[in-house]
Structure 1
């Protein structure tokens, strides 16, 4: 990472207290030398020696904060790590390198990648790291922050290239985990642990976005047409079902009306025939009675009656005797139909219909 902020942070980390003191004292001594050289050479020499001593003492002091460790190098040779606290190091020939042990954030700049289905996308991320072994971070890699950032960039492009466009847009957590797993092994060799990776955004290019919008619009129209067709189909089925029920009800009504009309005609015909039959029997009986009256005036003591006449007389005698009247005095037995006639006319069904059963 070559941003100005990153370079300023590295410079500040290496600009220690002893260096500030040494440069300040050196400037002070030089100013004093040029000012007092014409006055007293001995005083000038003493001032120089004093400045050197003060600068040496300042450069020999190292103060390490609680959240960091420092790698000590003396004349280019690695001497070990300085723990938090006050330390004295060889003056003028020592150099320390600061390592922050807190969680640090690395901003991965926006990367362009091609997905597995050949769709260009851009993405950026944030990587959270922590220095676990400052010695390895000092000896194994030149700049662990920059190295981790560059590795995260290439890993982000590789992970996106192995996924489809739909997966890159919907499986953000999976992308984060894949990148973290890919960074773990190489950063472990540097004494750095990748705690987490957060992909901030994955954006298709403008052309892909336009195509996706067209596809989405077409899909919405297709679904609307399907829903409309299904609604019309259900409505047509309901109308057909209603028409069917109406036709069935109408046909049943017409059938019942025809049955009732036919049964009524049959009853009327049977009752007319019964009435005609009854009138014929009465005429025969009346004629027979007149004949009997004429015979009764004859002096003969022997009479011969036809069998039919005796049968009619028996029936007529029953009517004359009033035996055709029912016990409740409401209806004559002669007006009742025998079971055979009732079955022929289906009078039981007619009575059931009339009573509403």
Structure 2
């Protein structure tokens, strides 16, 4: 720079001032600057990676946590003059801004949110920083939170809370399982009772239908038997009926009973046989009479 010959690398741009007045930017290559008349400032356009040291932050529920994070940023090529003219040291400005932004974001959320929603915190920090660094021609491309470490006492309390929640969840799950098992058993018993009742109902219906059919068949058989008896009885005469009575009397006579009761119609039923006996006796008398008459005739002769 003292000799007036300046080499600008490919990843650099040079902001040129003349007598302290900005006159433009120089692209990569060899440039000649007259000493004391021109002043050039090189700016690296490559992306910078800066790890922000661990700091203590306080959440909205007054819990102190230790956090460290990494930011990725670079100077925009078309705004390289702002990185020289708008801020004294843009690198230090970006780091200090990262501290302040993260402190503001953490101070508005609870510890549980800070532990579980790192991506949300990262995105919010990046958005807030980018709004400020755009004045300096700097673009914050990414923010990554490495660790959120609460105090030891808070850790122990969180572990106890987690253990209690685990026990609570296990008990709820167990009770829910028992409840579901009871529901399933009750449903099974209900279905079993319904099926059993349906089976008994079907059995009763089938039995009733069987008894009905059997009764109908018996009635049909009895009706047919009566009809046959009636048809046979129409051809039976009084003598046949009398023989049936005699057969019955014979059976009664073979029993050890000492008393017999005869119906009043018994004598009327015997009348055909009595008539047959009288007829036979009349026939014999007639024959004897004819014999006697013949004898008498013979005697007369």
Instruction: Please confirm whether the aligned pair reaches a TM-score higher than 0.5, indicating the same fold.
Output: yes
Give CA-to-partner distance per residue, 1:152-197, whole Å, 9 cap, x none: 1221232233345565455444433322221123222333222232
Flag the 1:255–1:88 CA change in 2: closer, same or farther, 3 A.
closer
Q: How many residues align?
A: 232
* Range that drifts further, 191-200 or 168-177: 168-177
Tell me which of the two structures has the higher relative contact order, counting C-alpha pairs closer than 8 angstroms and 6 or more residues apart: 2
Q: Which residue does the alignment assign to 2:197? A: 247
Aligned with 1:106 (options 34, 47, 50): 50
Judge conservation of contact 1:64–1:70 (CA < 8 Å) in 2: yes
Flag the 1:110–1:224 CA change in 2: closer, same or farther, 3 A.
farther
Q: Which residue does the alignment assign to 2:217? A: 267
Unaligned runs of 5+ in 1: 1-17, 19-55, 292-357
Task: Report whether the alignment pairs 1:158 with 2:104.
Answer: yes
Flag the 1:206–1:89 CA change in 2: closer, same or farther, 3 A.
farther
Counterparts of 2:127 and 2:101, CA distance in 1: 10
> What does 1:14-163 align with in structure 2 at a 5 Å threshold?
62-69=6-13, 78=20, 80=22, 83=26, 84=28, 85-88=30-33, 90=35, 98-116=42-60, 121-132=65-76, 133-163=79-109
RMSD: 4.0
Judge conservation of contact 1:119–1:208 (CA < 8 Å) in 2: no
Aligned with 1:191 (options 137, 162, 182): 137
Judge conservation of contact 2:25–2:81 (CA < 8 Å) in 1: no
Counterparts of 1:215 and 1:122, CA distance in 2: 25
Q: Which residue does the alignment assign to 1:229? A: 179
Q: Which residue does the alignment assign to 1:182? A: 128
* Range that drifts further, 273-282 or 225-234: 273-282
1:135 CA displacement: 3.9
Flag the 1:191–1:267 CA change in 2: closer, same or farther, 3 A.
closer
1:141 CA displacement: 2.8
Flag the 1:213–1:141 CA change in 2: closer, same or farther, 3 A.
farther
Judge conservation of contact 1:131–1:137 (CA < 8 Å) in 2: yes
Q: Which residue does the alignment assign to 1:206? A: 155
Flag the 1:238–1:118 CA change in 2: closer, same or farther, 3 A.
farther
Counterparts of 2:167 and 2:67, CA distance in 1: 25
Q: Which residue does the alignment assign to 1:215? A: 165
**TM-score using structure 2 length:** 0.59
Judge conservation of contact 1:72–1:78 (CA < 8 Å) in 2: no
1:138 CA displacement: 3.2
Counterparts of 2:65 and 2:157, CA distance in 1: 9
Give CA-to-partner distance per residue, 1:81-102, whole Å, 9 cap, x none: 77343545548x9987543121
Flag the 1:244–1:61 CA change in 2: closer, same or farther, 3 A.
same
1:245 CA displacement: 0.5
The structure number with the bigger radius of gyration is 2
